Amino acid sequence: MVITIKSNADKKQFENLLNWIESVGLQINLSEGENYTVVGLVGDTSLVDISLLRSLDIVDSIVRIQEPYKSANRKFHPEDSIIDVGGHKFGGNHFQIIAGPCSIESYDQVLAIAKAVKQAGATILRGGAFKPRSSPYSFQGLGIEGLKMLVEAKRQTGLPIITELMSENFLPYFDDVDIIQIGARNMQNFDLLKAVGKTRKPILLKRGLANTIEEWLMSAEYIMAGGNSQIILCERGIRTFEPYTRNTLDLSAIPILKEKTHLPVIVDPSHASGLSRLVKPLSLASVGAGADGLIIEVHNNPECALCDGAQSLRPEQFDDLVKAVDIMLPIVNKERDKE
Amino acid sequence: MVITIKSNADKKQFENLLNWIESVGLQINLSEGENYTVVGLVGDTSLVDISLLRSLDIVDSIVRIQEPYKSANRKFHPEDSIIDVGGHKFGGNHFQIIAGPCSIESYDQVLAIAKAVKQAGATILRGGAFKPRSSPYSFQGLGIEGLKMLVEAKRQTGLPIITELMSENFLPYFDDVDIIQIGARNMQNFDLLKAVGKTRKPILLKRGLANTIEEWLMSAEYIMAGGNSQIILCERGIRTFEPYTRNTLDLSAIPILKEKTHLPVIVDPSHASGLSRLVKPLSLASVGAGADGLIIEVHNNPECALCDGAQSLRPEQFDDLVKAVDIMLPIVNKERDKE
Amino acid sequence: MVITIKSNADKKQFENLLNWIESVGLQINLSEGENYTVVGLVGDTSLVDISLLRSLDIVDSIVRIQEPYKSANRKFHPEDSIIDVGGHKFGGNHFQIIAGPCSIESYDQVLAIAKAVKQAGATILRGGAFKPRSSPYSFQGLGIEGLKMLVEAKRQTGLPIITELMSENFLPYFDDVDIIQIGARNMQNFDLLKAVGKTRKPILLKRGLANTIEEWLMSAEYIMAGGNSQIILCERGIRTFEPYTRNTLDLSAIPILKEKTHLPVIVDPSHASGLSRLVKPLSLASVGAGADGLIIEVHNNPECALCDGAQSLRPEQFDDLVKAVDIMLPIVNKERDKE
Amino acid sequence: MVITIKSNADKKQFENLLNWIESVGLQINLSEGENYTVVGLVGDTSLVDISLLRSLDIVDSIVRIQEPYKSANRKFHPEDSIIDVGGHKFGGNHFQIIAGPCSIESYDQVLAIAKAVKQAGATILRGGAFKPRSSPYSFQGLGIEGLKMLVEAKRQTGLPIITELMSENFLPYFDDVDIIQIGARNMQNFDLLKAVGKTRKPILLKRGLANTIEEWLMSAEYIMAGGNSQIILCERGIRTFEPYTRNTLDLSAIPILKEKTHLPVIVDPSHASGLSRLVKPLSLASVGAGADGLIIEVHNNPECALCDGAQSLRPEQFDDLVKAVDIMLPIVNKERDKE
């Protein structure tokens, strides 16, 4: 950490700062310039509250040189982490496709989709039982009943399952769930992160709509600090000024994350754009950027005119997408995991 | 709600859409243009899932004319809501100043600050017991012990108190708390919103860092849908590309909210900028913009060199701020509530 | 265009608005709801100033149904535009790679790079003579002298050339330039757009850092309104809150543009991220998203330690990139143009 | 400037970097940590290209300690700059109100508004002759004819005038203009900045919609580098995700600028929000934040129903605004300049 002190800094305050730095066990490396004094802090600075220091009157600027995340940091764990979900691996040269309906509506629906996506090549089944909706008047999901349908579809098809957890109070119902999803709106729900940190299940951690890559890794760090290091990151778009897409998918984040962390990272192109016709181009783009997998919404309601064209793909569109991905994977040295 | 249908839309899909609209009890008003067909929906459209409709292949664009919030909507409640907290009123021509430490550190600290801010004119005491921190390695607050100290300071000074709730599991400890604060990171933690909607206590609902005004009002609507309409909104800055300030305080939101909703709205200038020297100018700016109050961090640690200059004000700076606010209030037809 | 009028609107003002609408030759389609009156405008609304209407007191909201761009609109020109640059085509199933140095430093430098990138498969040579720099103290480019070196490299290698124009006053020097580049910072320099609209040369129009896709197409419309419809769009990243990358490359814009316009669109992955190690993954991602080409920075200074690792690739890295792109192109039904 | 070198950095490249630093006349201050080596650069680093250094493979991060702007920097010019416009002063404890129509439409219109705003207390007359419009089909202003009308209104009323310059080719017509305005879209039109840097007239430099405070000061530096230090900065809103306002007015920028620079800064509340009913609250907020003045749109078309309610105020609304500002100014130690 490097702290720049203003040239006209109060001496007493400067002395207090230096004493405080030493009191927390850090070494000091002073360098005086014409307009500034630069204080280098040597040692473990991950415990230092950078925003407190930044707000001191005598401080001009401050920069953290050592990243604040440790367990998630590739520097201290150079090899890719491999997360195993029922024999299906995330990370390294593995590539997984998760697919399923946005919301679970009925057992017949989820089973039909599960069979269709398994047939097309998906290795894990997704389905929403608890739905985060911005309006209290919107359908909030089937809840525990939906979860039971998803578990039953797992039994029938053999596909491991992933679903979103919105409150730690529902954790007891997640015993048969293979990956617990933490949604974008809960990326900094720290009590929830602590709760899943105590489990020993793989966690899919979605990026918050307005969260930096560093904050995202700090949320992973929360889970790892609890003893659970089975984390899969999921980019799903950030909020920008552009109104034509619901969110702006940040694919630069993929190669950046590959440098910063050993954790696998997948992409959710369905939610990022909100438009089914963008799912295929954004999926191929994700593969090109180096993602470790995709999570795709698929529906199966030929009778439901309203669902057609939504952000979900029909099974035959999903099939077409998987085939295109398969051709691309060798270019990026990945191999799709197959049943 | 107005839906624009593409000129080359599939007729079967269009028919299905019209049937669906009628099936949910809405009336249709069709108007055919050269390049588009425009479908007007008349009736209560707050139950319609706009993002589903937007994603249909045949839909070019869609606009909600009726706002999706009802209880929070000034259209259906033209008078200002007045929220009463222990005799201190928010809304109308009332103006309140909430003050206190960022984190509760000890009973002596919180009591000393409570006395100082009461003396200067604050009518409500703030203090953090449960702290949302982006790093798992940072101090997480004193928790229940801190809460007890805050309640004791309330007993000693007579000041009502406000503190943040991060998980519904701690609600049983909030009996003596006068205002429950929902933090920016939990603005869309819908389970938490539902939980406080079941209480009958005033809620301070902070705006999320990346949330629109409409989403903010929808979160208020969640609480109101549970039967609790005592909500105070709190603007605290949004996330932008500008790095010199921690967040960009959006003061245009104040007059916009005054049009859209009857709920009172206050400003937190301490957290928005993260710099104590910006607290006074941003407080005066907030008054100018029409805010119903301020929530200000004050510390009282003359011995702690590190705290000085941080985002918290010293009591004498707070005193100076209150005096300046008092001179301004008549210009905006407000009156500060006094003990 | 659909205008929503408030329920309590002043009748005289409403009448005035209706009269004005008819006076500009538009038809009116009125529909009265409980809380609003909806006014549909039928006819050519591209001349209507939407921000003026939006700001009227009686107007609640307004939505433009017909896009404000005509010449660039795919609706009125369903076929892909093909832009021919010295026999090299942009658009349709063509794919072009433009490459060259960021700044022209000397004739030897630009010639050596030109030969290297031509060898690797580039079909057009880029090189900056006039450089937009945020600091007046930074190197501003070699100007006209640099332009002459670039033209000479064109003569030697046969590669068409592209370079940036920052002021219409330098247009007379651009006779031998094959594509005129308008930089991101000048995307809304309307006088410059008008000036290049009068030329009959292909224009590469970069997206502004904070400009929406619609504003970008309106800037293309400025050039087309002048009679020049040879426009190639270039996505190069937008400004967001994420600090790890210089800009956030918006690849969702590619499939969106393919729907909205018939103009070709390429991607500049070098400037978007500012990091050479991101150029390859973002290039492959761009191909996956459906781009019509790439513009890549390449340097050739083995002696310049400082240049290595910058946003420019070395020739051998560029060669490797072209090979990977070539394998991918068939998946997206594109073919790279070859000499 | 502090450069952090990765622990596994190539030694040859590191040596090359150190040699290069010394070759440009800077001193080196090395400090080796466990995971990083920190290189401090002492001397005038304003000539160093930070983005080039940041992109080097061996560099982990880099921070500029000395701001890249010198002439605009308060460190080297602690006193407020006072800009004198025909006897009316910007900066220090002076406060100016500029007012006038958005576009000049006729001589009668501009003269009538000029008289009205002078009567209400405006000291400088604004009026657009050349209009930056995002659509080529919108009214582009009366141009040179409009400029002549504005100059004539100046002769009649004695008010100094300000108008926007969009291309240096029109500079010869600006002899009688007292303040040259550079619009938000041209904030980084560097050729235009250089051109006005050669004049000796006050320049109003608006902030770009997506530009940081530092970039804004660097654009001021461009003008100052040309020898013209009479610059007035103007905050007018930045682009964010919030759709209810056209732009988000960044009032935190005011106190920040007061620290960073000695140049005066005013606010344009009319363009920021695009809504006339927000002009008064945002004007009072600007005064509270410490602005040195306001620039306000006023219209005078009782016959034009369409103009009423737009972002322009009517003269009586402007009068009311000036009165409210006058009551507030003593609180912020400012005095409004009067004729």
Residue A60 has pLDDT above 50, yes or no: yes
- Taking contacts as CB-CB distances below 8 angstroms, the residues of chain D near B267 are none
pLDDT per position as a tens digit, A291-317: 999 999 998 875 554 554 567 888 999
- Taking contacts as CB-CB distances below 8 angstroms, the residues of chain A near B301 are none
Run of H or E residues at D130: none
- Taking contacts as CB-CB distances below 8 angstroms, the residues of chain C near B247 are none
The rounded distance, in Å, linking the Cα atoms of D220 and D187 is 9
Confidence of residue D339 (pLDDT cuts 50, 70, 90): low
The reply to whether residue A210 touches residue B239, judged by beta carbons under 8 angstroms, is yes
DSSP E strands in chain B: the ranges are: 2-6, 27-32, 36-42, 59-63, 83-85, 88-90, 94-100, 124-126, 161-164, 179-182, 203-206, 231-235, 265-267, 293-297, 335-336
The reply to whether residue B56 touches residue A209, judged by beta carbons under 8 angstroms, is no
pLDDT, mean of residues A140-154: 96
- Taking contacts as CB-CB distances below 8 angstroms, the residues of chain D near A27 are none
The tokens for B126 are 């703030």
The reply to whether residue D66 touches residue A36, judged by beta carbons under 8 angstroms, is yes
- Taking contacts as CB-CB distances below 8 angstroms, the residues of chain A near B39 are none
- Other CB atoms closer than 10 Å to residue C321's CB: what's the count? 23
The tokens for B213 are 């005004």
Tell me, rounded to whole angstroms, the distance of Cα B23 from its chain centroid. Answer: 36
The rounded distance, in Å, linking the Cα atoms of B95 and B266 is 9
Fold that domain C2-63 belongs to in CATH: Alpha-Beta Plaits (3.30.70)
Tell me the residue type at C205: L
The rounded distance, in Å, linking the Cα atoms of D8 and B16 is 63
Minimal Cα–Cα distance from C336 to chain D, Å? 29
Tell me the residue type at A191: D
The tokens for A202 are 């793989």
pLDDT per position as a tens digit, A99-120: 999 889 999 999 999 999 999 9
- Taking contacts as CB-CB distances below 8 angstroms, the residues of chain C near A252 are 245, 248-249, 272-273, 278, 282
Please choose, from the candidates C273, C136, B210, the residue with its C-alpha nearest in 3D space to the C-alpha of residue D219: C136
Query: Which one of B209, B213, B246, B251 makes the best mutation probe of the D interface by having the most chain D beta carbons within 10 Å?
Result: B251
* Chain D contact partners (≥3 CB pairs within 8 A): A, B, C
Mean pLDDT rounded to a whole number for chain B: 90
DSSP letter at D144 equals: H
* Chain B contact partners (≥3 CB pairs within 8 A): A, C, D
Please choose, from the candidates C80, C51, C81, the residue with its C-alpha nearest in 3D space to the C-alpha of residue C63: C51
Confidence of residue B139 (pLDDT cuts 50, 70, 90): confident
Minimal Cα–Cα distance from D42 to chain A, Å? 6
Query: Which one of C64, C252, C320 makes the best mutation probe of the A interface by having the most chain A beta carbons within 10 Å?
Result: C252
- Taking contacts as CB-CB distances below 8 angstroms, the residues of chain B near C4 are 2, 65
- Taking contacts as CB-CB distances below 8 angstroms, the residues of chain B near C35 are 66, 75
The predicted structure's pLDDT at residue C82? 97
User: Hey, do A2-63 and A74-336 end up sharing a CATH topology, with the first three levels equal?
Assistant: no
- Taking contacts as CB-CB distances below 8 angstroms, the residues of chain B near D50 are none
Percent of chain A with pLDDT over 90: 65
pLDDT per position as a tens digit, A156-211: 999 999 999 999 999 999 999 999 999 999 999 999 999 999 999 999 999 999 99
The predicted structure's pLDDT at residue A304? 58
The predicted structure's pLDDT at residue A148? 97
Confidence of residue D19 (pLDDT cuts 50, 70, 90): confident
The rounded distance, in Å, linking the Cα atoms of C301 and C320 is 18
The reply to whether residue D250 touches residue B243, judged by beta carbons under 8 angstroms, is no
pLDDT, mean of residues C37-60: 78
Query: Which one of D57, D66, D213 makes the best mutation probe of the A interface by having the most chain A beta carbons within 10 Å?
Result: D66
Minimal Cα–Cα distance from A34 to chain D, Å? 8
pLDDT per position as a tens digit, D190-241: 999 999 999 999 999 999 999 999 999 999 999 999 999 999 999 999 999 9
D49 reaches C (C-beta below 8 A):
yes
Confidence of residue D13 (pLDDT cuts 50, 70, 90): confident
Q: Which of C305-309, D301-305, D320-324 has the lowest mean pLDDT?
A: C305-309
pLDDT, mean of residues B15-29: 85
Residue C280 has pLDDT above 90, yes or no: yes
The tokens for A98 are 């998760």
pLDDT, mean of residues A141-146: 94
Q: Which of A252, A278, A328 sits opposite C282 (nearest CB)?
A: A252
pLDDT, mean of residues D85-111: 95
pLDDT, mean of residues D149-158: 98
CB D209, CB D238: distance < 8 Å: yes
Confidence of residue D305 (pLDDT cuts 50, 70, 90): very low
The reply to whether residue B309 touches residue A56, judged by beta carbons under 8 angstroms, is yes
The predicted structure's pLDDT at residue C305? 44
Residue C117 has pLDDT above 60, yes or no: yes
C135 reaches D (C-beta below 8 A):
yes
In A, minimum Cα distance to C277 occurs at A255
Minimal Cα–Cα distance from D111 to chain A, Å? 39
- Taking contacts as CB-CB distances below 8 angstroms, the residues of chain A near D2 are 2, 4, 38, 63
The reply to whether residue C166 touches residue D133, judged by beta carbons under 8 angstroms, is no
Confidence of residue D310 (pLDDT cuts 50, 70, 90): low
The tokens for B298 are 């004050």
In A, minimum Cα distance to C211 occurs at A242
Residue C220, helix vs strand vs coil: helix
Residue C62 has pLDDT above 60, yes or no: yes
The reply to whether residue A272 touches residue C251, judged by beta carbons under 8 angstroms, is no
The full DSSP string for A75-126 is GG--SPP-EEETTEEESTTEEEEEEE-SB---HHHHHHHHHHHHHHT--EEE
The tokens for B336 are 């500060």
The rounded distance, in Å, linking the Cα atoms of B162 and B55 is 42
Report which of residues A47 and B151 the model is more confident about: B151
The predicted structure's pLDDT at residue C304? 58
Q: Which of A241-245, C139-143, C304-308, D226-230 has the lowest mean pLDDT?
A: C304-308
Q: Which of B29, B31, B63 sits opposite C63 (nearest CB)?
A: B63
Q: What b/e readout covers D277-304, taking b as 16+ CB neighbours within 10 angstroms?
A: bbbbbbbbbbbbbbbbbbbbbbbbbeee
Minimal Cα–Cα distance from B61 to chain D, Å? 16
Minimal Cα–Cα distance from B102 to chain C, Å? 26
pLDDT, mean of residues B68-76: 91
State the helix-helix crossing angle for D213-225 and D190-197, rounded to 10 degrees. Answer: 40
Confidence of residue D67 (pLDDT cuts 50, 70, 90): confident
The rounded distance, in Å, linking the Cα atoms of B102 and B117 is 13
Q: Which of A22-31, D30-39, D320-329 has the lowest mean pLDDT?
A: D30-39
pLDDT, mean of residues B94-115: 94
The reply to whether residue B250 touches residue D248, judged by beta carbons under 8 angstroms, is yes
CB C82, CB C35: distance < 8 Å: no
ipTM score assigned to the predicted complex: 0.91
What backbone phi and psi angles, to 5 degrees, belong to B271?
-80, -30
D27 reaches A (C-beta below 8 A):
no
Tell me, rounded to whole angstroms, the distance of Cα B187 from its chain centroid. Answer: 8
Fold that domain D74-336 belongs to in CATH: TIM Barrel (3.20.20)
Residue D12 burial by Cβ neighbours in a 10 Å radius (0-12, 13-18, 19+): exposed
Tell me the residue type at D299: H
Residue D331 has pLDDT above 90, yes or no: yes
D68 reaches A (C-beta below 8 A):
no
Query: Which one of A6, A7, A28, A29 makes the best mutation probe of the D interface by having the most chain D beta carbons within 10 Å?
Result: A29
C68 reaches D (C-beta below 8 A):
yes
Q: Is the dihedral of CA C119, C125, C131, C132 positive or negative?
A: negative
B290 reaches D (C-beta below 8 A):
yes
Q: Where are the domains of chain B?
A: 2-63, 74-336
The predicted structure's pLDDT at residue D199? 97
The rounded distance, in Å, linking the Cα atoms of C196 and C183 is 13
pLDDT, mean of residues C303-331: 81
CA distances from B235 to B177, B204, B268, B275, B293 (A): 21, 10, 6, 16, 11
Mean pLDDT rounded to a whole number for chain D: 90
Residue B321 has pLDDT above 70, yes or no: yes
The rounded distance, in Å, linking the Cα atoms of A311 and A309 is 7
The reply to whether residue A65 touches residue D241, judged by beta carbons under 8 angstroms, is no
Which pTM value belongs to this model? 0.92
The rounded distance, in Å, linking the Cα atoms of D336 and B266 is 29
pLDDT per position as a tens digit, A259-269: 999 999 999 99
Minimal Cα–Cα distance from B122 to chain C, Å? 35
In D, minimum Cα distance to A260 occurs at D60
The rounded distance, in Å, linking the Cα atoms of D31 and C179 is 48
Entry field: residues in chain A: 339
The predicted structure's pLDDT at residue C171? 97
Tell me the residue type at A152: E
The full DSSP string for D287-327 is HHHT-SEEEEEB---TT-TTTTTSSSBPHHHHHHHHHHHHH
The reply to whether residue D17 touches residue C215, judged by beta carbons under 8 angstroms, is no
The predicted structure's pLDDT at residue D304? 58
CA distances from D248 to B256, B263, C241, D257, D272 (A): 12, 22, 15, 17, 7
The predicted structure's pLDDT at residue C306? 55
Report which of residues D258 and A22 the model is more confident about: D258
The predicted structure's pLDDT at residue D302? 55
* Chain A contact partners (≥3 CB pairs within 8 A): B, C, D
pLDDT per position as a tens digit, C152-182: 999 999 999 999 999 999 999 999 999 999 9
- Taking contacts as CB-CB distances below 8 angstroms, the residues of chain D near B281 are 254-255, 288-290
Confidence of residue C227 (pLDDT cuts 50, 70, 90): very high
**Beta pairing, strands A2-6 & A59-63:** antiparallel
pLDDT, mean of residues A249-258: 96
In B, minimum Cα distance to C260 occurs at B60
- Other CB atoms closer than 10 Å to residue B338's CB: what's the count? 8
Residue C307 has pLDDT above 60, yes or no: no
The predicted structure's pLDDT at residue B305? 44
